[in-house]
Structures are given as structure tokens and as C-alpha cells.
Amino acid sequence: MSLSLVGLLNTVSPKSSASTRIATALRYGPADNHLLDLYGPRTPGPHPAIVFFYGGAWTDVGDRRDFAFAARALASLGYVVAVPDYRVLPEVAYPAFLEDCALAVHWALEHLPRHGGNPSRLALAGHSAGAYNAVMLALDPRYRLHGRITAVAGLSGPYDFYPFNEPIGERTFGDVPDPLSTQPVNHVSPDAPPMFLAHGDRDTLVGRVNAESLSSRLRSAGVAVEVHNYPQLGHAGPVMELGSLIRGRSSLFADLRDFLARNL
């Protein structure tokens, strides 16, 4: 994804009158970039909540502020939305970026009530590497979130990509002693939350097999899952569909809205 394009979309997207930025640069941990922004509806809470993780191949190319358009889109539907920054390569290695994301979620669980959010109805969402982060946090018990996540929405996410045949996977996970433990599909259990998995048929970066493999494991475990494929969208398309200026190339926004309404 071109992050300059994301930044441009964020700049020019009209701000929904139904949403507002609640707070910016709230500190959730000790590192310099352990900061998050909060968005929400203009109506009184408590509201269900979402923690949204942006992507960027686990490298230093993302910024929480560039994804205000996505947060505002979700906030306009009636959710308090947190968008955290987190450490990535080369500053840290796996699993530190997941530990940062987990820290942000635990912060949200503790502090959302004072910002109009309801931590008992909390979803995780993300795009690309951020979708991986969201799904791993919900599935892997190391992050102490089992039973605390109500739903997960993954957009263009990699969930089953071992062996690491691509440079991104090899660079990020190639030195992990137990590489199979890095794969979300290997952490599926019957207590996983319902999931929404979106994939663009024109995605040349993350293969469709990722969503298919994860959904198959989830269904085998008796977990509710929706898989949505969008013929007109590439890798960036699903998150870009949250921007009001270009929304409408697919039914993704409506599909995600309905999934969240049913599960949150």
C-alpha cells in the first residue's frame, strides 16, 4: 500500500458529523511510540469498542494518525475506536510488536469506561500486518485475551504463510525457533471469537489461501466466521473502502457494519 495515498485519503476524507476525536496521543506503555488516539460517536456512551491495528509489513511505515479516516468510519457506526502506534522492525523483533499491541488492548480494557467505551464488548480489527496482529492476539493465549475479545475483523491479513517463501515473512519470522507458533491458524481453539475475514481478489501481496485456511480451521473448531471476497479490490482496497470518498467499489463497508452489529 502507498502510505502517501493513505495519508492523502485521510486528509481529504470528509469527517463524519456522527463521529469525533475523543483524545490523541494517550500513553498506553513506556516506549516513545506507545501512543494511541481515540475516536467515538457524538452520542453519550457507553458504546461497544474496537481496537484497530494498521499494517505496514511490520516495518516503520505506518502512523496511527494516517488511519483516522478508518477510525472515524467505525466511530460513525456507534463504536469507540482506539488506533495505537506500536514498535516494529528494525527497532524490535517478533514477538515484541504483538506484545505492544496486546499492551494497547489491555490498556483499552482498563481505561475505556472513562472515555465512553464498554470493555465488555470489545472487537479487534486490522489491515494486512495489522490484521495478523489482531487475529494473533485473539487466538494466542500468551496475550491473555481469551474470553475478553467479542469479535475480530481482519482485512487483507496473512494467517497461514509458513514456510516463509516471501521476503517479508522470512525477514520478520525467519529467526523464530518455533516458526509454526507464528501462524494464527495454529492457535485456533473452540473459544475463539467470531471473525470477519475480507480479501480482495486482486490482492497480489497476500494470497486468498490465508483467509480460506483460517476460516476452515475456525469452522472445524465450531467458531462462527464470515469470509468475504471482493473482485474489484487489491491489497489496500479493503481498508481504503472505509474512506467515504471512495467507498462503494464493493459491499465491504456494509458487510463489516452488519457483522459488527450482530456481534458487538
> Residue 248: what pLDDT?
76
Q: Do residues 258 and 78 lie in contact, with contact meaning Cβ atoms separated by under 8 Å?
A: no
What is the pLDDT at residue 244?
Answer: 73
Provide the phi-psi class of 164: left if phi over 0, else alpha when psi is between -120 and 50, else beta.
beta
| Backbone φ, ψ for residue 262 (5° rounding) | -70, -35
Residue 121 makes CB contacts below 8 A (sequence gap 6+) with 48, 49, 150, 264
For the stretch 119-135, pLDDT in tens is 999 999 999 999 999 99
Rounded CA separation 86/134 (Å) = 13
pLDDT at 221 over 60: yes
Name the pLDDT band for 159 (thresholds 50, 70, 90): very high
For the segment 168-179, the average pLDDT, to the nearest whole number, is 97
Tens of pLDDT, residue by residue over 36-58, are 999 999 999 899 999 999 999 99
- Residue 30: is its pLDDT beyond 90? yes
- Cα distance between residue 96 and residue 83, in whole Å: 18
In the block, which residue shows the cell 476460516? 215
Q: Which CATH superfamily is domain 3-263 in?
A: Alpha/Beta hydrolase fold, catalytic domain (3.40.50.1820)
The pLDDT assigned to 2 comes to 43
Chain centroid, CA 8 distance in Å: 20
Location of C-alpha cell 523483533: 93
Instruction: Transcribe 20-48 into DSSP letters.
Output: EEEEEEEE-SSSTT-EEEEEEESS-S-EE
Q: Where are the domains of the chain?
A: 3-263
More confident residue, 260 or 246: 260
Integer Cα distance of 99 and 92 in angstroms: 11
